[in-house]
Chain A
Amino acid sequence: MSTTTATHHDDHADHGHPTGIMRWVASTNHKDIGTLYLWFSFFMFLFAGALALGIRAELFQPGLQFVEPENFNRLTTLHGLIMIFGAIMPAFVGFANWMIPLMIGTSDLAFPRLNNMSFWLMVPAAILLITSIFVPGGAIAGGWTMYPPLSVQNQSMSVDMSILALHILGVSSIVGSINIITTILNMRAPGMTLMKMPLFVWTWLITAFLLIASMPVLAGALTMLLTDRHFGTSFFDAAGGGDPVLWQHVFWFFGHPEVYIMILPAFGLISTIIPTFARKPLFGYASMVYATAAIALLSFVVWAHHMFTTGMPVAGQLFFMYSTMLISIPTGVKVFNWVATMWRGSMTFETPMLFSIAVVFLFTIGGLSGLVCSILPVDIQVQDTYYVVAHFHYVLFSGAAMSIMGAVYYWLPKWTGHMYDETLGKWHFWLTTIAFNVTFFPMHFTGLAGMPRRIPDYALQFAEFNMISSIGAFALGISQLLFLYVVIKCIKGGAKAEAKSWEGAEGLEWTVPSPAPFHTFETPPTVK
């Protein structure tokens, strides 16, 4: 494995970084592995997005036109699984890889080889998930939440492949999170106290904790599902004394922290971008840290709000309703702080800032519709309707995905050494934002009017809104090709980026040249 034979080097410059394919498959460099994560995530984003376009094509008109109902179910299931585990999560890990060592002033993550393993485990998992489309019985079709009894009764091998893919992704996430949490706790530059860390690092510290606490619970749930399918256990079978609802409890005990795993790093990203372009320090840094921690802790006691209609004692329902509502308090603190950061700032509106402002605006809409869903009697009405679809796309697309896009523009100069094309970036922003709202805003109306999700056909009165949504979805999908073009153009060339690419940028990452050299901070800087 080792290619180093030199015996007289006093630095790491001669670790002999291999070129060609070996540079990537054998990498122990946080920047290269971060790049791998980000590209992987982007291709999964396009793939799962294409599946979503299949859904929207079918729903363009009432009636069945393009896909069989079973295949429609497969599209929704794989779209959800791949977007969550293949696109959003790896993108945040990519940022963590690239930026955390630069932000806290250390040479790499604590365990570079394990870091590479975390990435390369994503690949077999993706292969298992995607090839499961072609096995007899077809891909997994019971929704990304894999509720039994459907997921036990479906005897297709694809369900087992998906379960094992998620097991592998779980290993990847746990190893990656242990790596990140260890890096943050043990590798900070001298003087970088916890309360001086950039907020993005804080949000990842807490996210890593959530991952380590929740991913093993998913592993347990998946194992029970697997043994129920093949080894005769009765965890989810009432005839044997089990309960299908048990799956929902264990799954959502993982699933709700998972939701915050996908949004806390997004909060960290826009808390980095907004101060830069408002040219003011982040308002209420300490309260941001405490709010993040509060959201994380609350995320472990709200899971059954996903199950209000599955039957539970009223006392339980009330507990989960109130605990869910409590989350709006720390979240409100965050939104207030972002707005207060912009208040009387010397604002400019480059692409990253446009994305961040849109996130504050649109995520808040998603947060408020979440509050609507948390109200028990309302949830009984809107559960499993397009209202819920609208809600979670407002938090996951305009919260997580759009903050990722903004942050890509923000750090592209640092990564590539070139400024991206600002005009095209703004075009990408406006196309994405408008198309996103055209797609998902009407779903609030169809949902409130009672259109159920995950059904390939619908009653005639929903036709107009669905047509609007579908047109928006195709515009949204095609706009992302522009994103790809802007990124490639920026890698190929463009105006030379300064070390400090943005006038108002703060932080250690802007003290190293652009593009960031292969090795940085081998001797840690001292933070005052």
Chain B
Amino acid sequence: MSQNTNNYYLPAPSLWPLIASIALFLMAGGFAMQMNDVASGSYVLIAGVLVFIYLLYGWFRDVIKESLSGFYNKQVDVSFRWSMGWFIFSEVMFFAGFFGALFYIRTFALDWISGSKLVWPDFVATWPTSGPAATEALEAMGPWGLPAINTLILLISGATLTYAHWGLMKNNRKQLTIGLILTIALGAIFLYLQAHEYAEAAFTMDSGIYGSTFYMLTGFHGMHVTMGTIMLLIILFRVMKGHFNADHHFGFEAVAWYWHFVDVVWLFLFVFVYWL
């Protein structure tokens, strides 16, 4: 389909949205069944995940094809930029909800429980805590071991990604590739160390409010780093196939924005979850 490039690109009818709907339906239904021990729930869930992977593969393949065919003019590019910015804003608000929960618990709720003489007269609010009903002492995660190293890793990965971007801007493919490979490697090391930290941790999600907030915040952050690393890998494949040039590389930039966002979230985690 050739198209007047002055016009905004309008895609042909597509079944991908319906497939997305089916994927999410199977995933949600399967997950609900699995959590409630309904037999076959996990099969439905796995089917949903497979449809979802097929969806991501197919839809992005179509979009990349359209991009390479030059269907996306300047105005479409601006749309992509706005939408990625707003998407990251929505992610900021997602994490803000969990940080808000953490601040509320630490500032108000624990104080009120420890002031109440009725149910747990001996409970004195401290942080970290597993709550008034806990029977064992809590061994919290200190900031200056692995978390500090991980902070350093993510900060360096932000720099290597910018190094890659500079390479792209100069049409220096070698610099671009090296920068990307370094960033992906750093992301993978971060994830490995995070998994190691989880494995060694003396507490779980079950360990009261400290374990709850710790794993919820670091867990979702880890999922985002995983996503970001996969996205960077795909960008690396695309670079190796010769996609992107100095003027036309929004896919690269979007992933870079996402990576920096994940980086900033970590800094907040380091300060408020590990350190203070």
Contact = CB atoms under 8 A, between A and B. Distances in A.
A113 B82 contact: no
Contacts of A240: 130-131, 133-134, 208-209, 212
A250 B100 CA distance: 8
A3 interface: yes
26 contacts: A9-B2, A12-B10, A15-B13, A22-B13, A25-B18, A117-B20, A124-B25, A174-B90, A182-B82, A182-B83, A186-B75, A213-B93, A220-B97, A224-B98, A227-B205, A234-B211, A235-B101, A235-B212, A238-B113, A238-B119, A239-B132, A240-B134, A241-B132, A241-B134, A241-B208, A249-B100
A15 B131 contact: no
A76 interface: no
Given A160-B32, A182-B79, A216 B90 contact: yes
Interface string A377-420: 00000000000000000000000000000000000000000000
A181 B86 contact: yes
Interface residues of A, number: 91
Interface string A12-25: 10011110001101
A241 B90 contact: no
A12 B17 CA distance: 21
Contacts of B113: 238, 241, 243
A246 B93 contact: no
Given A114-B17, A119-B17, A160-B35, 20 more contacts: A1-B62, A22-B13, A26-B14, A107-B7, A112-B10, A113-B11, A117-B21, A124-B21, A161-B29, A164-B28, A167-B28, A182-B79, A212-B90, A220-B101, A224-B212, A233-B205, A234-B209, A235-B212, A237-B131, A250-B97
Interface of A: 1-12, 15-18, 22-23, 25-28, 106-108, 110-114, 116-117, 119-121, 123-124, 127-128, 157, 160-161, 164-165, 167-168, 171, 174, 177-179, 181-183, 185-187, 212-217, 219-221, 223-224, 226-227, 229-235, 237-243, 245-246, 249-250, 253, 522-523
B130 A241 contact: yes
Contacts of B213: 235
A235 B97 contact: no
A220 B97 CA distance: 6
B94 interface: yes
Contacts of B11: 28, 112-113
A23 B10 CA distance: 15
B1 interface: yes
Interface of B: 1-4, 7-8, 10-18, 20-22, 24-25, 28-29, 31-33, 35-36, 38, 58-59, 62, 75, 78-79, 82-83, 86-87, 89-91, 93-98, 100-101, 104-105, 108-110, 112-113, 119, 129-134, 204-206, 208-213, 215-216
A124 B89 CA distance: 26
A301 to B, nearest CB: 13
A137 to B, nearest CB: 9
Contacts of A182: 79, 82-83, 86
A98 to B, nearest CB: 16
A409 to B, nearest CB: 30
A242 B212 contact: yes
Contacts of A232: 204-206
B86 A214 contact: no
Given A7-B2, A157-B36, A15 B12 contact: yes
Q: When A and B form their complex, which 4 residue pairs have the shortest distance between CB atoms, in order from nearest?
A: A220-B97, A241-B131, A124-B25, A241-B209
Contacts of A121: 20-21, 24
A241 B35 contact: no
B96 to A, nearest CB: 7
Given A187-B8, A212-B93, A246 B101 contact: yes
* Chain A binding surface, main DSSP class: helix
A351 B139 CA distance: 68
A106 B75 CA distance: 12
B12 A242 contact: no
Contacts of A221: 97
Given A217-B96, A241-B105, A523 B7 contact: yes
A186 B84 CA distance: 13
Contacts of B15: 1, 25-26
B55 to A, nearest CB: 10
A2 B104 contact: no
A178 B90 contact: yes
B129 A241 contact: yes
B104 A249 contact: yes
A223 B3 CA distance: 44
B33 to A, nearest CB: 7
B216 A223 contact: yes
A110 B212 contact: no
A472 to B, nearest CB: 38
Contact of B86 (A124, A178, A245, A253): A178
Given A2-B1, A239-B132, A128 B28 contact: yes
Contact of B28 (A22, A124, A186, A250): A124
A116 B270 CA distance: 39
A2 B24 contact: no
A127 to B, nearest CB: 7
A246 B16 contact: no
Contact of A113 (B16, B22, B112): B16
A235 B17 contact: no
Given A110-B79, A113-B11, A217 B210 contact: no
Contact of B33 (A119, A157, A183, A212): A157
Contact of B13 (A3, A111, A164, A227): A3
Contacts of A229: 35
B36 A28 contact: no
A178 B29 CA distance: 26
Given A16-B12, A107-B7, A164-B28, A217 B208 contact: no
A378 B112 CA distance: 26
A229 B212 CA distance: 12
B97 to A, nearest CB: 3
A110 B83 CA distance: 9
A323 to B, nearest CB: 17
A387 B129 CA distance: 42
B241 to A, nearest CB: 21
B11 to A, nearest CB: 5
Contacts of B18: 25-26, 116, 120
Nearest to A157: B36
Contact of B14 (A6, A28, A183, A253): A28
Nearest to B108: A243
A181 B89 CA distance: 13
A496 to B, nearest CB: 29
A246 B12 contact: no
Given A113-B17, A233-B211, A241-B129, A4 B1 contact: yes
A186 B78 contact: yes
A113 B59 CA distance: 10
Contact of B82 (A27, A185, A234): A185
Given A8-B2, A232-B206, A215 B13 contact: no
Nearest to B113: A238
A214 B10 CA distance: 30
